[in-house]
A and B are shown apart, each in its own frame.
Chain A
Amino acid sequence: DAGVIQSPRHEVTEMGQEVTLRCKPISGHNSLFWYRQTMMRGLELLIYFNNNVPIDDSGMPEDRFSAKMPNASFSTLKIQPSEPRDSAVYFCASSFQRKAFFGQGTRLTVV
């Protein structure tokens, strides 16, 4: 298996633009997570899906953030409009038997 695949690896965008991050989880994993890594908070959980259904989105910072999982093999995290404070590394992970496997992350820079 190729592991969790995220795209793009790097994204530079201007403030106010829409940004969409993509994730393909490992086949057979029924849970998917979006995390954001910051120096202050470490790995911060944004949203968690189980069987494609959002279970916990309490970590989503504000209404500018939204996430979807239309099927078991694809998820998106969208920021609209983006702001400089959204600059961070965003990780997608899928899990099986309580072990999460992470993608390589998307480094987002909003200028």
Chain B
Amino acid sequence: SYVLTQPPSVSVAPGKTARITCGGNNIGSKSVHWYQQKPGQAPVLVIYYDSDRPSGIPERFSGSNSGNTATLTISRVEAGDEADYYCQVWDSSSDVVFGGGTKLTVL
């Protein structure tokens, strides 16, 4: 089965840039999607197809994907960005796969 690996936690100061990685075997050949989940709320799609943003998602959120690592980048981090972030792919063998999630802490 296909496995996605995320760091459990990332910390960043307000106004700085946060980078959350998602590792997987040759993940660059797949489309990666990212979700933000705040406590007590359903996940929200923030990036799809590696780097596309749904309407309503700030331009501060961006994504990239190459080789064995996909990255969600949040620029000019705000307190309101504090949340859990999950990457997700679709694999022909494993179907839908989520990463384990990364807790973003804004210092």
- Asked if A and B are interacting partners, one says no
Report B's interface with A, CB cutoff 8 A.
Answer: none
Report A's interface with B, CB cutoff 8 A.
Answer: none
